[in-house]
Amino acid sequence: MTNQEKTAGRVVVEALEAEGVDTIFGLPGSHINAIYVALAESPSIRHITTKHENSASLMALVYGALRHRPGVCLVTAGPGGTNALSGIAQAYTAAVPVVIITGAVAPDAAKEAFHGVDAPDLLQKAYASATKRSLTVEQVEDIPATIAQAFCLASSGRPGPVHVAIPENVMDGSTDRAPAYRKLPVEPVGLPSSAADDIAKMLRGAARPVICAGKGILAADAAAELAALAKLLGAPVVFPQDGLGAMSYKHPLCVGILTTIVGPNPFAFELMKRSDALLGIGLRPMAANLAPILRAAPRNFAFVGTDDAPNVVPEAAISCVADNKLALQELIARLKDRPRAADPALLARIEANKAAINQAFHTSILTNSRDGVVHFGLAVEELARRLREDAIVVGDIGNHGVWTVNYLPRLGVDNLVQVGTWGAMGFAVPGVTAAKLVHPERQVVGLTGDGSFLMASADFVTAVEHRLHVVYILLDDRRYGMVDLLQRREFGRSYAVDIGVPDFVKYAESFGALGIRVEEASQLGQAIDRALAADRPVIVDVVGDPLVPYVSLPEAVSQG
């Protein structure tokens, strides 16, 4: 190699630097070592070494969700790529921009080549179904353009992950003809002028407008615009579960979630059914959570979707796809000359509905608590009381999620990072590390279960290595509690759900972290206070009751 030549690894790193990447989550391996050698000399990119590739992709997801720009993940070929695939699928369903770069075997690789199977393009095909695009670099000179394309695609339209595979034969190469990196602009598309006019006219003429806002609001960083439009219209705002955090729960027009595993909120659906104009925004055409919304929608239903294709919703009177932030700004511009105060009676009903739900959940906690174990709902309730308004909570999959969804939306805007519909267990463990790296000044808490924690426990040490003050509230029922519940609900019994758990206090201490065990409700407050005041990672092991019944959300509302 001459002095003018650059290795493929160097070309990759220079492209990432030119794109403005400051953090990469990854795990080195034989097929990408050339990139790592070049990364060692980068003055502007920080690398976070994970202990499992799925943690790397989940960290990139949380980074992308909180920064509203692509998180970056780097893993090797073969099992490195397949291990990371689950986190990438989660980013796809959550509409979070991520760029994942993987190694790959050469296209002419022999059968059973290292990190290969008979099909050399296994990773490219696997990622094609879980990303917006799976791109393959064919020669070193193509690296800058391919990476630029990946970043542009990840943030365009409906945000999501993009895969870049760099085969071994390319990674082993070098060039003196690499073109300069050209960052591609992301050009959001607003509402068609006629659609904006029609939607504004519909909303202006309505006496009972309602807004249903989905995760597209979060993806577009459009919470401020959503609140502004709701105030202009005096319109209540409801959310599918993935839209939580798009509006402060304390906002007087925020009704809250439409439905969870404990049932629908009848009041929220009543508002939609009685409305004479419904604006659905930040929702995805043909998504599963759209069906109950369509059943409750009035004839005057305007749908502004989040998607890459101009898919329409035939049930809507007006249907289009647009950047949610631009769409809201365009509607505000058309409606701001005639603001309308919210109906005081409506505001009172919204507040009463929230109070009824909160009281019913609290009553259920008190009724079903017993000595020797801690009610999971009480643990989440005590945590919520102690968190600052700007705290970040990373959720996970399990029984604890029911209480997370009820209590933690009381935080401010964009403070709850949810696991999403893909439902990969172990999300909170790597998630809190990424969240703290993005926002070191804020409280960061992972709300997880024993089963979920164990799935990603290797990356607890990553938080320790970086001396991050993060807190894991580990709700410990010594079983896969959600699976147990679902089996008993459907079949009357459960099987293969019990798990052996370690002493989590000793586990934390073995890494130099702090471990706290809570076995009685009276210990909760002091334990959480101690954890939040610590200067290192903390596991609060809350020994919980696996058989606590859930409160029914419809019953909660009716009792209120």
Please name the residue that has the structure tokens 């050698």: 37
Residues 6+ apart with CB under 8 A from 551: 262, 360, 361, 363, 364
Overall pTM surpassing 0.85 (yes/no): yes
DSSP state of 503: -
pLDDT value of residue 114:
86
Domains of the chain: 6-175 (3.40.50.970), 193-348 (3.40.50.1220), 370-544 (3.40.50.970)
- Provide the pLDDT for residue 361: 81
Integer Cα distance of 551 and 269 in angstroms: 19
Amino acid in the structure at residue 142: D
Q: How far apart are the first and last CA of the chain?
A: 76
Pick out the chain residues at pLDDT < 70.
1-3, 261, 406-412, 547-560
Q: Which pLDDT score, from 0 to 100, does residue 518 have?
A: 97
Give the pLDDT of residue 551: 66
Return the closest-CA partner of residue 210 out of 227, 195, 230, 224: 230
Q: What pLDDT was estimated at residue 466?
A: 97
Tens digits of residue pLDDT in 336-387 = 999 999 999 999 999 999 888 888 888 888 888 888 778 888 999 899 899 9
Task: Give per-residue pLDDT as tens, 103-152.
Answer: 999 998 878 888 888 888 999 999 999 999 999 999 999 999 999 999 99
pLDDT of residue 560: 45
